[in-house]
Amino acid sequence: MAVAEETGAQARVAAKARRPVARWRGEDSWGRSAWTRGRVLAALALLTGGLLAFPGAVPNTPGRLGSLLESLLPWLGLVIVVLLGLAALRRSATALLALLLPVVAWTALFGGLLWPARAGDPDLVVVQHNVSDENADPAATARALAEAGPDLIALQELLPSALPVYQEELAARYPYHEVRGTVGLWSVHPLSDTRIVDIKPRDIEEYWSRGMRTVVHTPHGEVAAYVAHLPSVRLGTGGFASARRDESAGRLARAIAAEELPRVVLLGDLNGTVEDRGLAPLTDRLNVPERGFALSFPAAFPVARIDQVMARSGTVSRVHTLPALGSDHLPVVAHLRWE
């Protein structure tokens, strides 16, 4: 009797264990199996994977939709998560199999950013920050940036009224600085050969100076530092308006291509992500960050890193952000290693 009861209990346990498998293998009320249901989800998964693997296939006309997609490309990871949940609810083996494509594509594109940075001290630590022309407390901003302890601090949207505040607050730790137009660089190392870099789009007629170049004399040798603020982009009924930004990026890229010093660092509010084809003239010539997402804009809920640090003859080993400092951008800290 006891043996019979034990055998019955084991059978019930085994039956319970088989139920989830049976649910997956079984047909639904319309007679569809795990391989025939969820075809729409599978198609969406393949589409998502295709966009991740080949974003350049989306044309930039009309409305520069390709650039818009590339600016938000990492967020397709959320689409993958949603599709995964729906595929599990639908018990669709076809959809789950199709999801392998976007998972692999997203991991190949962005998975490396999640890994820890390589061990060892960086050769140069920099901060890039658009301080905002509406910043109500530039003194507090300057102090917070200095407390982060970088070698270089690049700032954009420097108003004439706020500039003396930054100069005063940063002078003790950063005795060397150069400002041209609305962009500037503060340094613990001596600076020389500073000049304006003309990145103004052709259709802007008023005074507009948002680019500069200077030489930083570091313990590791001379580095040509470029500080830039490219034109803003707008998303409206006409699409993603980035023509001015793209033109300005091309001008900046030509200036960097002509740079004679082998080591170059670019710090700037480029109003674009490194995946955006509008910045290709720069990203084709310079190394972009290897580790860290460092989403910087908008500060209240960052969705993209448009504040960039890139390098030539060196690597940007990692980036991260600092807390908000009265601007609609977050400061971006970058560690660099020279070849």
State whether 49 and 94 are in the same domain: yes
Q: Is the pLDDT of residue 196 over 60?
A: yes
Predicted confidence band of residue 236 (pLDDT cuts 50, 70, 90):
confident
Rg value, the chain, Cα = 26
**CATH number of the CATH domain containing 227:** 3.60.10.10
Count structural domains, the chain: 2
Give the pLDDT of residue 38. 84
User: Both 132 and 109 in a single domain?
Assistant: no
Asked which of 25-39, 107-121, 168-182 is least confident by mean pLDDT, the reply is 25-39
In this prediction, residue 238 has a pLDDT band, given cuts at 50, 70 and 90, of confident
My answer on whether 59 and 139 are in the same domain is no
pLDDT digits (tens, 9 = 90+) for 123-156: 999 999 999 999 999 999 999 999 999 999 999 9
DSSP string, 121-183: --SEEEEEEE--TT-S-HHHHHHHHHHT--SEEEEES--TTTHHHHHHHHTTT--EEEEETTE
Pairwise pLDDT comparison (3 vs 195), residue with the higher score = 195
Q: What is the pLDDT of residue 227?
A: 98
Q: Are residues 215 and 174 in the same domain?
A: yes
134 and 89 assigned to the same domain: no
The model's confidence at residue 253, banded by pLDDT at 50, 70 and 90, is very high
Residues 138 and 95 in one domain: no
Q: Smallest Cα–Cα separation from 201: which of 249, 164, 145? A: 249
Q: Which residues, including other chains, have CB under 8 Å from residue 156's CB and lie 6 or more apart?
A: 129, 130, 131, 182, 183, 210, 227, 228, 229, 268, 269
- Name the domain boundary from 113, 139, 169: 113
pLDDT at residue 225 greater than cutoff 70: yes
**Per-residue pLDDT for 276 more than 60?**
yes
Q: What's the pLDDT score for residue 94?
A: 92
Looking at residue 91, what is its pLDDT? 87
Question: Is 324 found in the same domain as 180?
Answer: yes
Per-residue pLDDT tens over the stretch 312-323: 999 999 999 999
pLDDT at residue 36 tops 90: no
Order the strands of the 176-180 sheet from edge to edge.
Answer: 176-180, 183-187, 152-156, 124-130, 332-338, 314-321
* Listed residues 66, 87, 113: the one ending a domain: 113
Indicate whether 187 and 333 sit together in one domain: yes
Q: How confident is the model at residue 69 (pLDDT cuts 50, 70, 90)?
A: very high
Among 113, 136, 170, identify where a domain stops: 113
Q: Any bridge partners for residue 184, and if so which? A: 155, 179
pLDDT value at position 33?
62
Supply the pTM of this predicted model: 0.89
Residue labelled with tokens 């693997």:
53
pLDDT at 17: 52
27: confidence class by pLDDT, cuts 50, 70, 90? low
Name the strand (E) or helix (H) holding 94: helix 93-98
Q: What is the mean pLDDT of residues 197-204?
A: 96
Half-sphere exposure of residue 284: CA atoms within 13 angstroms, side-chain side: 11
Ramachandran angles phi, psi of 81, nearest 5°: -60, -45
Least confident of 7-16, 145-154, 178-187, 261-270: 7-16
Mean pLDDT of 185-210: 96
Q: What is the pLDDT of residue 332?
A: 98
Query: Mean pLDDT, to the nearest integer, of 55-80?
Result: 93
- The burial class, CB within 10 Å (0-12 / 13-18 / 19+), for 329 is buried
Q: Do 74 and 165 share a structural domain?
A: no
Do 133 and 109 have their domain in common? no
**Listed residue (9, 19, 336) closest to 154, CA to CA:** 336
Judge if 25 and 167 occupy the same domain: no
Q: How far apart are CA 177 and CA 252, in angstroms?
A: 21
pLDDT above 70: percentage of residues in the chain: 89
For the chain, what is the mean pLDDT? Answer: 91
Instruction: Cite the DSSP H helix spans in 176-318.
Output: 243-257, 280-283
What pLDDT score does 280 carry?
97
Instruction: List pLDDT tens digits, range 92-120.
Output: 999 999 999 999 999 999 999 999 877 78
Whole domain around residue 248: which residue ranges? 121-338
Same domain for 291 and 254: yes
